[in-house]
């Protein structure tokens, strides 16, 4: 935290002259107004306003400043930050900061009571609490990214703790290598249930997972034929969810006693899990099609593990996954050159996910001033960022409750493709959900809100448009100003 924080003034006054004068060339409203909210020393020369082509014009990008660039990176590699966290980040060179972030080891959340692992909402609440408080934000952000990319919904986990298990998988393997992650997914109980792998046998292969693993997870449409779907389904047949004892030996799943309630059955499973048992996907040789398949040009007795290796050997794989990562972390429409260059590094690293992220964050496209505020925060991202910015991190249950109104309920994606990104988040209803979450945060009981004058610089880089400037100028209280900050268009972007 800057120790030279100026004495707070009463109210924040953005004079009309300041706001107008700062937009160079008289291009009123044509550029994001870089407003001076504190004192003249905090004022940075505005960058040249963008062309008037975009109506209201472009944001006056501050990315030429190292502090703003650090904030830009923190918003994308993590969720959000306090003023002190930004100060610490900005004290490092950009390269060191990227290194520090991408090498963070996953931080385990507090143990969730076994009984609570059976309900996706208690798991979601526990996850939001961790996203809002962990010091290892990047692995947590990656867990959220993979939850959207290798998505599953909670319904088929009914009465089993599979949501919790998949959540841990994406935290544990989400910053490792793609091969390990995909192998984890193929045998992940929630995925096995969600895309019907447990319904697939040699006698009756089910195509659901076989199609989506190519179309949505690794290659994209056009990277395979219908014949590959059929052969892939054979190769992936025979996986079942088993209960393993602490030594890894399959044990019979207890039958629910006639007359017992679902809760009693859960307690029965809880006792087994607390005794060291665990659920896992297991290949059952008798149900697996042992025959020869021809899959994506490879012929042999292909099984699930070979499927993963064959997928990773396809030229479409690295560009497909890279494009997906870029639209979440880099820019909404990456150029073909950008994708090719970063995908080449990703593949050459044997699909090391940290290499992929480092390549994105250190690319010139990422740091390009025109790339400022080019991504829309997802609802989960927005809510966690609001909690972190205000220090009101105990609002996890409220986040679970509010997600639906913004179009994102964790473990309930709209389709098997997960959530669409950026512009697709925007709707009248979802934006009401966002401004109403801002109200919930500022009205919540809890610690006093941090100094809003400082926050306008740390959270919004001091770059605000005319709407936000007007509301902040007219605001009567600091709570009103915090509301404006959190509900603002600027805070929805990263």
Partner 1 sequence: MSITRRDFLASGLLAGAAGIVVPPVLARGVLAAANDGVHNNRVLVVVQLGGGNDGLNTVVPYADAAYHDARPGIGVAVDKVLHLDAAAGLNPVMTGMKALYDAGRLAVVQGVGYNNPTYSHFEALHVWEYADPQRRATDGWLGRLLATQMKDASNPLAACALGQTGTPTELRASGATVSVISSVKGYDVQGGAVRQAAAPALYRRTPGVYGALFDQALSTAETGIGALKKASTYSPAVAYGSTATVYGSKNSLADALQMTAQMIVTQPAVKICHVVLGGFDTHQQEDQRQAALLTNVDMAISSFMKDLDAHGVADRVVLMTWSEFGRRVKENGSRGTDHGSAAPVFVVGAPVKGGMYGAAPSLTDLDSGNLKHTTDFRSVYQAVIQDWLGGDASSVLGASFPQLSLLRA
Cβ proximity to partner 1: between 7 and 476 the closer is: 476
104 alpha carbon, distance to own chain's centre: 16
Among 59, 81, 187, 320, indicate the residue that binds partner 1 (CB under 8 A): 59
How far, in Å, CA of 50 to CA of 191, rounded? Answer: 46
**Token digits for 424?**
């697709």
Determine the angle formed by the axes of helices 428-443 and 379-390, rounding to 10 degrees: 20
The 173-192 site mask, x for binding partner 1 (CB under 8 A), equals --------------------
Among 26, 40, 55, 259, indicate the residue that binds partner 1 (CB under 8 A): 55
Give the nearest distance from C-beta 402 to partner 1 in angstroms. Answer: 11
CB-count exposure of residue 447 (10 Å: 0-12, 13-18, 19+): exposed
Give the nearest distance from C-beta 245 to partner 1 in angstroms. Answer: 28
Among positions 428-457, residues that touch partner 1 (CB under 8 A) are: 428-433, 435-436, 439-440, 443
Query: Does 284 help bind partner 1 (rule: CB under 8 A)?
Result: no
Query: Does 427 help bind partner 1 (rule: CB under 8 A)?
Result: yes
Give the nearest distance from C-beta 27 to partner 1 in angstroms. Answer: 11
Residues 6+ apart with CB under 8 A from 129: 109, 393, 394, 396
The 201-240 site mask, x for binding partner 1 (CB under 8 A), equals x-xxxxxx--x---xx----x----x--x-----------
Cβ proximity to partner 1: between 106 and 304 the closer is: 304
User: Any idea what the Cα angle at residue 176 is, between residues 173 and 181, rounded to 5°?
Assistant: 50
Give the nearest distance from C-beta 431 to partner 1 in angstroms. Answer: 4
The helix/strand/coil state of 439 is helix
Cβ proximity to partner 1: between 5 and 474 the closer is: 474
How far, in Å, CA of 197 to CA of 182, rounded? Answer: 14
Among positions 336-365, residues that touch partner 1 (CB under 8 A) are: none
Among positions 361-390, residues that touch partner 1 (CB under 8 A) are: 373-374, 376
DSSP string, 186-252: HT-HHHHHHTTGGG--SSS---HHHHHIIIIIIS-TTSS-HHHHHHHHHHTTTEEEEEE-TTS-EEP
How many CB atoms neighbour CB 185 within 10 A?
Answer: 25
The 65-94 site mask, x for binding partner 1 (CB under 8 A), equals ------------------------------
The span of 9-17, 88-96, 307-315, 460-468 binding partner 1 (CB under 8 A) equals 460-468
| DSSP-assigned letter for residue 244 | E
Among positions 9-38, residues that touch partner 1 (CB under 8 A) are: 29, 31-32
Query: HSE (CB half, 13 Å, CA atoms) of 395?
Result: 28
Give the nearest distance from C-beta 302 to partner 1 in angstroms. Answer: 20
Choose among 353, 411, 409, 401: nearest CA to 378.
Answer: 409
Determine the angle formed by the axes of helices 428-443 and 478-487, rounding to 10 degrees: 150
Query: Does 146 help bind partner 1 (rule: CB under 8 A)?
Result: no
How far, in Å, CA of 324 to CA of 133, rounded? Answer: 26
Beta strands in 249-403 (DSSP E): 250-251, 278-283, 293-295, 298-300
Among 351, 411, 482, 483, indicate the residue that binds partner 1 (CB under 8 A): 483
Size of the site for partner 1 (CB under 8 A): 73
Query: Does 199 help bind partner 1 (rule: CB under 8 A)?
Result: yes
How far, in Å, CA of 289 to CA of 284, rounded? Answer: 10
Query: Does 52 help bind partner 1 (rule: CB under 8 A)?
Result: no
Among positions 102-141, residues that touch partner 1 (CB under 8 A) are: none
């Amino acid at each position: 935290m800057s120790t030279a924080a100026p004495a707070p003034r009463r109210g924040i006054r953005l004079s009309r002259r300041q706001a107008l004068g700062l937009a160079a060339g008289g291009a009123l409203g044509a550029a994001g107004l870089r407003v001076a909210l504190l004192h003249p020393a905090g004022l940075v020369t505005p960058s040249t306003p963008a062309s008037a082509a975009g109506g209201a014009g472009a944001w006056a990008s501050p990315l030429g400043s190292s502090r703003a660039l650090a904030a830009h990176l923190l918003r994308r590699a993590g969720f959000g930050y306090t003023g002190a966290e930004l100060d610490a980040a900005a004290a490092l060179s950009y390269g060191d900061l990227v290194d520090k972030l991408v090498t963070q080891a996953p931080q385990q959340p507090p143990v969730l009571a076994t009984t609570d692992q059976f309900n996706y909402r208690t798991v979601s609440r526990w996850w939001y609490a961790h996203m809002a408080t962990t010091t290892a934000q990047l692995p947590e952000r990656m867990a959220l990214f993979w939850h959207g990319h290798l998505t599953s919904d909670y319904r088929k986990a009914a009465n089993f703790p599979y949501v919790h298990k998949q959540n841990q998988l994406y935290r544990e393997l989400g910053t490792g290598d793609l091969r390990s992650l995909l192998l984890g997914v193929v045998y992940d109980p929630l995925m096995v249930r969600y895309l019907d792998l447990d319904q697939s046998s040699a006698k009756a292969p089910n195509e659901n997972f076989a199609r989506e693993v190519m179309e949505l997870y690794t290659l994209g449409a056009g990277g395979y034929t219908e014949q590959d779907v059929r052969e892939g389904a054979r190769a992936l047949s025979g996986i079942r969810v088993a209960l393993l004892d602490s030594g890894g030996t399959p044990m019979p799943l207890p039958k629910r006693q006639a007359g017992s309630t679902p809760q009693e059955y859960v307690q029965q499973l809880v006792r087994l899990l607390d005794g060291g048992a665990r659920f896992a996907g297991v290949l059952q040789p008798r149900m697996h099609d042992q025959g020869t398949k021809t899959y994506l040009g490879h012929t042999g007795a292909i099984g699930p593990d070979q499927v993963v290796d064959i997928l990773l050997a396809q030229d479409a794989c690295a560009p497909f996954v890279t494009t997906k990562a870029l639209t979440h972390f880099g820019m909404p429409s990456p150029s073909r050159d950008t994708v090719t260059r970063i995908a080449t590094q990703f593949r050459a690293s044997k699909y090391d996910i940290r290499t992929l992220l480092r390549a994105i964050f250190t690319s010139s496209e990422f740091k390009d001033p025109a790339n400022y505020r080019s991504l829309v925060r997802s609802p989960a991202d927005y809510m966690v960022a609001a909690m972190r910015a205000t220090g009101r991190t105990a609002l996890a249950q409220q986040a679970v409750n509010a997600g639906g109104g913004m179009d994102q309920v964790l473990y309930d994606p709209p389709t098997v493709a997960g959530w669409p990104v950026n512009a697709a988040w925007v709707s009248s209803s979802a934006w009401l959900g966002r401004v109403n979450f801002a109200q919930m945060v500022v009205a919540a009981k809890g610690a006093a809100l941090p100094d809003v004058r400082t926050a306008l610089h740390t959270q919004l880089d001091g770059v605000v448009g005319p709407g936000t400037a007007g509301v902040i100028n007219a605001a009567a209280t600091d709570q009103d100003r915090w509301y404006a900050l959190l509900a603002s268009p600027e805070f929805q972007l990263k």
